[in-house]
Structure 1
Amino acid sequence: MKSIICKRTTNFLLQAAVSSALLSGVAAVQAQESMLEEVVVTAQKRSERLIEVPISITTLSAETIEQSGVKELKELGDLTPNLMISQNSDFGTNIVIRGVGANSRNIGFDSRVGVYLDGVYLGQSPAANQGMIDLAQVEVLRGPQGTLFGKNTVAGAISLTSVKPGDEFEGSVGVNVGNYDNLELQGSVTVPFTDTTSMKLYGNKTTRDGYIDNVFNGDKVNERDVLSGRVQLRSALTDSLEMNISADYLEQDRKGFNGEPLTDTFGFARPDEGAAKYKISQQTLIEDKELKGASVTFDYDTDGGYLFKSITAYRDSEIFYDADPDYDSAEFLGVLYTDAYEQTTQEFQIISPDDSSFKYVAGIYYYQQDSTTDRDAIAGTGTVFFPGAGAEVPISVFGIDPTMKVVDIDGAVDTESYAIYANGTYDLTDRLTLGVGFRYGEETKDVDWSIDGSNSGAFRIATTTVKDSRTDTSFDPTISLNYAVFEDSYIYGRVSTGSKSGGYNLDFINVDQVEAGIEFDEETVTSYEIGYKGEFPDQNLRLGVALFYSEFEDYQVNQYVDLGGGRTALSITNAAEVVTQGVEVDLTYQPTVNLQLTAALGLLDAEFDSFPGGDAEGGDASGNELPYAPKVTASLGAQYYYPLPSIESSLLLRADYAYTDGYYITASNDEGYTLADGTEVAFGEVDSYGTISARIGLVSDAETWEVSVWGRNLTDNDYQNYSFRDFFGTILGGYAMPRTYGVEAKYNF
């Protein structure tokens, strides 16, 4: 592996190593006073201790999620090294692990990171940004996970585990109020019907005003307005057979946000209005989505210790997106999207007993998805400034009839896939364990899609119909060795492979793209990882270190390319080769019963090893860094409970710091955009930034109530966290949410 550690990160690692050694010595003295809770994960489809699983994993408990103030999936990046999640519209949520990710705003293009709830794949980008509510644990698995988590997990997987119904009557109510008129109401109740059957209901309603002023119409945009709920039924049908039924629903209606225009419509000059941070002047973007799903799981335990599992699931996701691609207050052009995904999955598993030297999980998996899209570009009567004419012009200047649709897209992609998989471990000796696994899959995409750009004039949007079918087959093996150096201390090596199916570029494509072909090939990855996991002494200190090197072949790149004259096009091409490599460190230290310290570090070097012609302007992108791949990500956390016996409660003190190094947004590695007057706007490159969050609370010893004061981004850091170039050449950027704070109370009964 070639060197990726610069001088500053080398010093950081040396300091961390010395600190770890000192902490372990202190822990030996204080071992009798404290003990870390054992962390159990289900990354390999069975319950196992975290330190015994040869995969780089970050786990977040229910307490960590609650006390850190994480409310949405997109906020997980603050707590997890080498994880980036886009902060703009949910329509194109982009999850990046180890520099590798993608959004699926295109029904012919899949994401690279799978998000799963209780083992069920939640679907494409519009469904990814889940609320972090009523969860027992979150596991972020880095590297290819196709052997166990299925299709299109070449970068990794995020596994969410919900809180299951208990066998006693209990419940909770909570309220959270804060600035920007934030109001969150939540409640749950578990009702046992019999000794073997119980039901749980959970509901959440969150509203918050936007923090970006639209000076055109007075709206506050980038608001939150979400209603969600879940109902679960757990029943022990016999002593050996348990049934779990779950149904969930999420509805979001909000004035969304795609980015602040840093230039005028055609990227010529700065905008006349709304140019300041957190201000825009344009038609308001609407983003409404509805997510729902249900699953039925049967667990059957045999007398011999085998577990047979069946998971049947249905998911339905629909998002409506009303965008303003000219980013101007004039009604020049509007775009309406309605995308929907309906999927059914069936999985059967057999899990061997835990008391054998040979343990395995084997299964078969079926996935069927019907995805549809209806997209319209609608001309308006307003005018925008066009530098080619030196004046305000209507859309008719570009050869467009404003009385007709500019572009009409309608179509569907039906996906069907089958897979068989197995993953097992064999104890070669008392200390050495061999792990092997594979997944064989076949996936077919049937596309019936049309685009009518006959009224697009100078923008030359294509007019064509695509009726086609493609099938990808893959065999993805994995092998690992796990060695117990001594009790509760393991080193491991792992080689894993993965694949991401090919597809079609079904978006606002132009005539030239149709002629070149809109189909792209399957991508594959081979990843090598060595690591260490240990708990010592007496479990006061937990340390995990992973070094990885991954090679991607035919890597699929989704980006805007420059067509000249203020025109761009959405392109999907296969890069010849991508290499990502780096280091991850996770540390948890509990010097006393009441104090816990955490630290995490991610070092990353991710680049296009070979990508001729991959630059947005057609140049060679070989050697360029991957987008959203900061070289350093780090976090520090401290949580302390101070006993107050006089009032039978404890004072909770928590603080979190997250750091992200600078990174590029585009495959071209742009470092700014020069306007006609010679000045530059921030585009393509994001500077490093850090944020601080904290919480002070009072928690009853009986855990019946809790009241907290919380704050996020306490330094009010207004750093830019993304930028991009849209259809007309507009340069846009987004900035971190300003300081937020509030009071949260919860009562358990």
Structure 2
Amino acid sequence: MTNIRPYLWATPFALATALAASPVAAQEATVDDTATEDLGNVIVVTAQKRAENIQDVPISIAAVSGETMETANILTVMDLGRVATNFQTVRSSNTGSTRIGIRGVGSLANTLIEPSVAVFMDGVYVPRSGAILGAFLDIDGVEVLRGPQGTLFGRNASVGALSIRSALPRNEFSGEVSAEAGSFDRYKLSGHINVPLGENVSARVAAMGQWYEGPWKNVFDGKTYGGSDDVAVRGTVKAEFGNVEWIVRGDFTRLDGDGVVNFDFDPASVTPARLAFLQAAFSGGPDTNLNDRVMNQSVASGLVDKNWGVSSTASLDIAGGSTLRLINSYRKWTNDQLDGDIVFLPVPLATRRSLFDSGSQNHELQFISPEREWLGGHFDMVAGVYYFEEKFALGEQLNMDTQYCNVLVPAGPGRAACAAYYASTGGIAATDQDVYQKVRSIAAYAQGNVYISDALTLTLGGRWTNDRKRGSYSQVSSPFTQTIRAPEMLTYPGLSESRFTYRVSLNYKPADDVMLFATHSTGYKSGGYNSGGGVPSLSTFDPQGNLISTRRVFDRETVKNYDFGVKSSWLDRALTANLTLYRMDIAGFQDRAFDGVSFVVRNAGNLRQQGFELDLVLAPSDRFSVSGSLAYLDSKFTDFANASGLPGIGGTQDLTGKPNSFSPAWSGSLAADWNGDIGSSGLSWAANANVAFVSDQYVGTVNDANPQSIADGYAVLGARLALSGRDDRWSLAIFARNLTNTHYRPLAVYQPLGAALGLNNGAFPGSTANRIQANEPRTYGISGTIRF
């Protein structure tokens, strides 16, 4: 890769030069299917707290409309990376451990670590990414903001932000109802209705029900897994009285299923002899075919995930054209999942019950000046004050199953004592972990545009944030599970830290349809303490019980980012081409190290993520369009001397110069949309084909540069064909996802208790048994919609 890197960098620089040298006359913009909102035939986004043309915003943005998500079969946030390049999502066996990443950086949600990508729903911050796993319901559009957004979006947008916007009520009686049937007994019924409640008041109610059996066939018990029965509802009321606009929303989502994800055993990660041992000792052993829908393991599962919230957004237009906006909200997320068998073998050994409980409130007062009207048209600004509070509780219980003592406790008196303990307790809550954290954050921010001339604009912004945290940690463990979870009790006295983040951007428009920009922005995530169990205990106490030292605490993470980009339109705006070159330097990177049994968050060192993002749309007519994106990512730790050692060796290693996990060098997508009329019948048709691709990458949950966790690159193809009636009153569609049934590796995890099972150092020194998460297989379906 080193030899071709100069050419990779030369290509986007040459394109940027060509774009800047090719001014385009101002024309009426064509409708863009990737618009999050279509006003005046331009893509309108709210990345800077006001509605703006995306081509005038000096930020690398992937904007996806609700219509585009439907066309590309984007059902949940887990699918969004197929249309938003350099955006990644992955989840493990526990739904609460969802990771959302931008530019190769993200954080798993099942710890107290702050997310690297801030998620906003209708302008309200959602602190836990596991809370947005439900199906997208009545979504108007999504904006993926790449790069730190610390000035306007806060401390938890250190590498980017995801902004989701639901549809607003219309002052008319209208609505639609859709029914859908798909692979693996998936059935979905959804719809919305708009109702005018008065001359200036309207309401919109949207609802969805989905029933899904799941794709995974388990040889062990003959059952099917991966299914869920889901329900979601949202109600919105919008009122306009003079210079006041008030929007009130309430929503509820419930996921009720098994939560199972198929993790197959990689036979290449152990010797044939050790694989034969597993097969002989554990009822034929785990499933080793990585390319089928079969699993073979003991399963005890169940998931109930509830997420609800209420919000109020009141906007007051004041004298001079400015706006005051007050946003208040409360959100509640609970997740209760039984996850097992956690050793993934066809023998009942141990199960895990995970509990998440997050209650948060957001309050933000914004001031938005009129655009380009102050100081004789040379200045405008946005400013605000912000308050956030979250009470977050995590629980984990490990339960001994019927064969725990026989397999994991040596023969003799210890095994007999273990059997007696199991007989008296049923093995329930053999370990019991309870973690609590309260966070309070206050901030004040301002960002202004100084229009030096008609073509040159200087943007300056800053945000002061103060975070306070406190909490507690408790881990209780039976005498027979202390090799998995060590007992520990700790009160976290908390932290109080302040940080200033800022943004400086210079924008130059040599022509109406070309903008060049250079931006320097910063972001940060506050420090905290570990929520995971450790063996031995992460804290050391003296004989009197006084704390001597602890490895539970980690420090903050800071980001410095540099963007150089061009946004342009060609050929009377039939072609849109946006290119951003970036470099993110992350200091004090908060990494999850693995000690063979549990995970520990610590400050790893420094990480550099750099590359480019290219987004293109060609729409020669309203009948045909092609959109594509391409991202290159050069990921490298510039300082990581104490990384986790390979699992079969242990200790530490120096990973300086190695890439971060989930950081593919290349990723991108390509989509084509074509539509037309069927004679004079009033009928019309629309066809879409889309492909998303990603190159080789590390997909392990630990940064240890283990070659076993390198996943080959892949491409996934989707398609949709729709027939619509006169005035679009009804439509029928057939669709497919992963049309070629491509097999790839979304995630790799180490075999739990690999050392105890003698699975280390089999393939090579430092190797261990690997579990590979199965990807979604080919799915297809049919849907029908009636609009009124």
Report the TM-score when normalising by structure 2.
Answer: 0.87
For residue 524 of structure 1, report the CA deviation from its aligned partner: 0.3
Answer with 499-508 or 41-50: which moved more. Answer: 499-508
1:301 alignment partner AA: D
Equivalent residue number for residue 304 of structure 2 = 288
Equivalent residue number for residue 360 of structure 2 = 343
Given that residues 462 and 514 in structure 1 are in contact (C-alpha distance below 8 angstroms), is that contact kept between their aligned partners in structure 2? Answer: no
Distance 1:626 1:398 in 2: 42
Given that residues 405 and 419 in structure 2 are in contact (C-alpha distance below 8 angstroms), is that contact kept between their aligned partners in structure 1? Answer: no
Equivalent residue number for residue 545 of structure 2 = none
Distance 1:707 1:634 in 2: 29
Distance 1:538 1:218 in 2: 60
For residue 581 of structure 1, report the CA deviation from its aligned partner: 0.3
Equivalent residue number for residue 605 of structure 1 = 634
For residue 166 of structure 1, report the CA deviation from its aligned partner: 0.7
Distance 1:440 1:400 in 2: 58
Equivalent residue number for residue 102 of structure 2 = 97
Distance 1:524 1:576 in 2: 11
Is 2:366 the counterpart of 1:366? no
Given that residues 569 and 727 in structure 1 are in contact (C-alpha distance below 8 angstroms), is that contact kept between their aligned partners in structure 2? Answer: no
Given that residues 443 and 466 in structure 2 are in contact (C-alpha distance below 8 angstroms), is that contact kept between their aligned partners in structure 1? Answer: yes
Distance 1:5 1:153 in 2: 32
Cα deviations by residue, 1:270-317 (Å, 9 ceiling, x for unpaired): 551433333222214323210000101101011310100000000000
Match of 2:287 among 270, 274, 282: 274
Report matched runs for 1:544-693 at 5 Å.
544-562=578-596, 568-616=597-645, 617=650, 618-665=652-699, 666-672=702-708, 684-693=709-718
Distance of aligned partners of 1:10 and 1:503 in 2 relative to their CA distance in 1, 3 Å threshold: closer
Match of 2:147 among 143, 155, 161: 143
Q: Secondary structure at the match of 1:414?
A: strand
Distance of aligned partners of 1:3 and 1:435 in 2 relative to their CA distance in 1, 3 Å threshold: farther
Distance 2:318 2:299 in 1: 61
2:583 alignment partner AA: Y
For residue 482 of structure 1, report the CA deviation from its aligned partner: 0.7
Equivalent residue number for residue 763 of structure 2 = none
Cα deviations by residue, 1:308-329 (Å, 9 ceiling, x for unpaired): 0000000000001111212234
1:535 alignment partner AA: S
Distance of aligned partners of 1:85 and 1:385 in 2 relative to their CA distance in 1, 3 Å threshold: farther
For residue 110 of structure 1, report the CA deviation from its aligned partner: 1.8
2:705 alignment partner AA: N
Distance 1:458 1:162 in 2: 48
Equivalent residue number for residue 679 of structure 1 = none
Given that residues 286 and 321 in structure 1 are in contact (C-alpha distance below 8 angstroms), is that contact kept between their aligned partners in structure 2? Answer: yes
Distance 2:580 2:712 in 1: 26
1:363 alignment partner AA: G
Equivalent residue number for residue 479 of structure 1 = 504
Distance 1:209 1:428 in 2: 60
Distance 1:6 1:227 in 2: 49
Equivalent residue number for residue 313 of structure 1 = 329
Equivalent residue number for residue 761 of structure 2 = none
1:245 alignment partner AA: V
For residue 531 of structure 1, report the CA deviation from its aligned partner: 0.2
Equivalent residue number for residue 729 of structure 2 = 704
Equivalent residue number for residue 490 of structure 2 = 465
2:395 alignment partner AA: D
Equivalent residue number for residue 443 of structure 1 = 467
Is 2:538 the counterpart of 1:513? yes
Given that residues 30 and 42 in structure 2 are in contact (C-alpha distance below 8 angstroms), is that contact kept between their aligned partners in structure 1? Answer: no
Q: Secondary structure at the match of 1:320?
A: strand
- Give the fraction of aligned pairs with identical amino acids, expressed as a percent: 26
Given that residues 338 and 353 in structure 2 are in contact (C-alpha distance below 8 angstroms), is that contact kept between their aligned partners in structure 1? Answer: yes
2:251 alignment partner AA: D
Distance 2:665 2:391 in 1: 38
Q: Secondary structure at the match of 1:702?
A: helix
Q: Secondary structure at the match of 2:539?
A: helix
Cα deviations by residue, 1:140-177 (Å, 9 ceiling, x for unpaired): 00011111112311111010111100111111000111
Distance 2:149 2:598 in 1: 32
Answer with 506-515 or 589-598: which moved more. Answer: 506-515
Distance 2:412 2:69 in 1: 51
Report matched runs for 1:320-339 at 5 Å.
320-324=336-340, 325-339=342-356
Given that residues 485 and 533 in structure 2 are in contact (C-alpha distance below 8 angstroms), is that contact kept between their aligned partners in structure 1? Answer: no
For residue 496 of structure 1, report the CA deviation from its aligned partner: 0.3
Equivalent residue number for residue 677 of structure 1 = none
Distance of aligned partners of 1:35 and 1:126 in 2 relative to their CA distance in 1, 3 Å threshold: closer
Distance 2:413 2:324 in 1: 67
Equivalent residue number for residue 680 of structure 1 = none
Can you give the 5+ residue segments of structure 2 that lack an aligned partner in the other structure? 33-40, 280-284, 541-549, 755-768
Cα deviations by residue, 1:631-657 (Å, 9 ceiling, x for unpaired): 000111000012224221221010001
Report the TM-score when normalising by structure 1.
Answer: 0.91
Distance 2:394 2:680 in 1: 62
For residue 513 of structure 1, report the CA deviation from its aligned partner: 2.5
Distance 1:76 1:395 in 2: 49
Given that residues 668 and 692 in structure 2 are in contact (C-alpha distance below 8 angstroms), is that contact kept between their aligned partners in structure 1? Answer: yes
Distance 1:396 1:461 in 2: 22
For residue 7 of structure 1, report the CA deviation from its aligned partner: 8.6
For residue 735 of structure 1, report the CA deviation from its aligned partner: 2.1
For residue 4 of structure 1, report the CA deviation from its aligned partner: 9.3
Distance of aligned partners of 1:102 and 1:415 in 2 relative to their CA distance in 1, 3 Å threshold: same
Report matched runs for 1:74-473 at 5 Å.
74-88=78-92, 89-106=94-111, 108-236=112-240, 238-262=241-265, 269=275, 272-276=285-289, 277-280=292-295, 281-324=297-340, 325-356=342-373, 357-383=378-404, 401-402=421-422, 403=425, 405-455=429-479, 456-459=481-484, 461-473=486-498
Distance of aligned partners of 1:75 and 1:227 in 2 relative to their CA distance in 1, 3 Å threshold: same
2:313 alignment partner AA: T
For residue 401 of structure 1, report the CA deviation from its aligned partner: 4.3
Equivalent residue number for residue 780 of structure 2 = 741
Can you give the 5+ residue segments of structure 1 that lack an aligned partner in the other structure? 563-567, 673-683
Distance 1:527 1:243 in 2: 36
Distance 2:413 2:563 in 1: 57
Distance 2:215 2:468 in 1: 44
Match of 1:725 among 741, 750, 758: 750
For residue 472 of structure 1, report the CA deviation from its aligned partner: 2.4
For residue 243 of structure 1, report the CA deviation from its aligned partner: 0.9
Given that residues 594 and 644 in structure 2 are in contact (C-alpha distance below 8 angstroms), is that contact kept between their aligned partners in structure 1? Answer: no
Match of 2:573 among 535, 539, 542: 539
Is 2:62 the counterpart of 1:58? yes
For residue 17 of structure 1, report the CA deviation from its aligned partner: 5.8
For residue 540 of structure 1, report the CA deviation from its aligned partner: 0.6
Given that residues 256 and 284 in structure 1 are in contact (C-alpha distance below 8 angstroms), is that contact kept between their aligned partners in structure 2? Answer: no
Given that residues 266 and 772 in structure 2 are in contact (C-alpha distance below 8 angstroms), is that contact kept between their aligned partners in structure 1? Answer: no
For residue 582 of structure 1, report the CA deviation from its aligned partner: 0.4
Distance 2:3 2:83 in 1: 22
Given that residues 468 and 496 in structure 2 are in contact (C-alpha distance below 8 angstroms), is that contact kept between their aligned partners in structure 1? Answer: yes
Given that residues 137 and 232 in structure 2 are in contact (C-alpha distance below 8 angstroms), is that contact kept between their aligned partners in structure 1? Answer: no
Q: Secondary structure at the match of 2:741?
A: coil
Given that residues 383 and 392 in structure 1 are in contact (C-alpha distance below 8 angstroms), is that contact kept between their aligned partners in structure 2? Answer: no
- Equivalent pairs, count: 721
Answer with 122-131 or 94-103: which moved more. Answer: 122-131
Distance 1:737 1:61 in 2: 24
